[in-house]
Chain A
């Protein structure tokens, strides 16, 4: 890449002076703070609106200022409607989302870890051309696959089952790519030779020796699969039509459609509360596992 010549030219100069303390200022300049602050407001504004809205009823939604709170609070009432509407189906949707995302993440990690290991640790005929072929499919938009998938699953009798949403998510070319990078970087191949001399089988080497060394990769790929599955909309939209199989995204979008058209009392603020509940798990996962979130794409870019 074009960065290379710059690095070659400048690196040698550093040896004599690299011990000098880094002259990095601790504070942002005023204009920088303004830019950062402005964008932070933009990023957080819809979430702030959500926090103000979950306390309102529909009347207050239209009559009070959207970005501020208003009394009296209707949070308890909204929560009650959310949890009891249609015999409490919202709880079922929440559970479904956890099942879809959990199974996709767990299965996807195992599949990607094994395949990434094969590409990284072994040399076999056709390895490089097959890896390239798989990588190229990253550029095929997933949504282009959904329609033929629907027709295929219809023939296989998979529609309206949990499998219809889980199975297609298990195979993730980008997850495989990431996993291979982690294997390349974290698993020294000399370990394999040594273990073989000690009489360890190939599966034992992978499972006992290899997997613990790429733990960070497993978490990163698992997290990305989980988020992708949690956010998936197009696939469940076509693959399941029975509402007790809906994930949260699909369920809330159906409520959003029907609540404004079917002549019932609209439940806008209840839907907003449902939206907040549906994003909380990911926000918590993000805050708890923050360091793994940045690993994904960045690693790919540096190596690529």
Chain B
């Protein structure tokens, strides 16, 4: 007996209902909101009036917003490749041998991922605080200077370190698992063909890792665009600029300035940038760009 064509839709209905309500509707609503601007008529309170694309025009001239994008671009260009490089190197080393220490290292590398980013930010905040930091204690004991890791010139990289600490092990496990899924026959064959050590890595393992590396890259780009909790918890400890990341700026525009329509505009732009950069990377690598 053939099932009724309605059956798959019944299975889909809970997901689709929630997806519409909590994914599509917010995006649509943000798009709608972004078309309104606050206008003050005479002495009355500010009113939301239709402003067309005025908010978008404003965003592209908003030095604070552009600055936040610049920050996150700097952050991404340095942090993402560095993290991927370390994760790949660790995965390749772990995969090259089978030893008892393997499990120990894997667990140690993975533990930071289990720690919420707020808590990670909080703990690193103490490790950074000028007068508490054990790094400064060691430096002082050796006759060196104390560094203020929360200074505005260093803060972006202090945050990058927290993100690297949290995610490198997680990405390493992803890559490592992909390596472990490779049939050992393939390695045997390569060895017989004379590929060993570096050659095996370069011509067999790295190409096999490509889809996983791509996945890690896309998720890292998405994650980078969203950095929020770490700078948010570091704010009370040191000088963190309002626009250190697009998300902190967006949050302040909404919560401090109460300008929801402009914040919605920034959310739309941010989602658009993330989407475009992910698609661009997918396109670029699909076209046969070697990793």
Contact = CB atoms under 8 A, between A and B. Distances in A.
Interface in A126-154: 127, 134, 136-145, 147-152
B188 A20 contact: yes
Contact of A256 (B104, B181, B236): B236
B122 A256 contact: yes
Interface residues of B, number: 117
A138 B216 CA distance: 13
Nearest to A122: B8
Contacts of B11: 114-115, 117-118, 122, 206
B29 A304 contact: no
Contacts of A115: 11-12, 14-16
Contacts of B18: 111, 167, 170-171
B124 A261 contact: no
A185 interface: no
Given A145-B26, A252-B122, A28 B181 contact: no
Interface string B165-177: 1001110011011
A24 B98 CA distance: 7
Contacts of B86: 39
Contacts of A71: none
Interface in B195-236: 203-204, 207-208, 210-212, 214-216, 218-219, 222, 225-226, 228-229, 232-233, 235-236
B267 A275 contact: no
A10 B190 contact: yes
B271 interface: yes
B93 A32 contact: yes
Contacts of A7: 186
A145 B27 contact: yes
Contacts of B90: 35-36, 39
A154 to B, nearest CB: 10
A28 B99 CA distance: 7
15 contacts: A2-B210, A11-B189, A18-B185, A26-B97, A32-B96, A42-B165, A49-B134, A118-B11, A122-B8, A140-B23, A143-B247, A233-B118, A249-B116, A298-B174, A301-B212
Interface of B: 1, 3, 5, 7-9, 11-12, 14-16, 18-19, 21-23, 25-27, 29-30, 33, 86, 89-90, 93-94, 96-99, 101, 104-105, 107-112, 114-120, 122-127, 131-134, 137, 165, 168-170, 173-174, 176-178, 181, 184-186, 188-193, 203-204, 207-208, 210-212, 214-216, 218-219, 222, 225-226, 228-229, 232-233, 235-237, 247, 250-251, 254-255, 260, 263-264, 267-268, 270-271, 274-275, 278-279, 288, 290
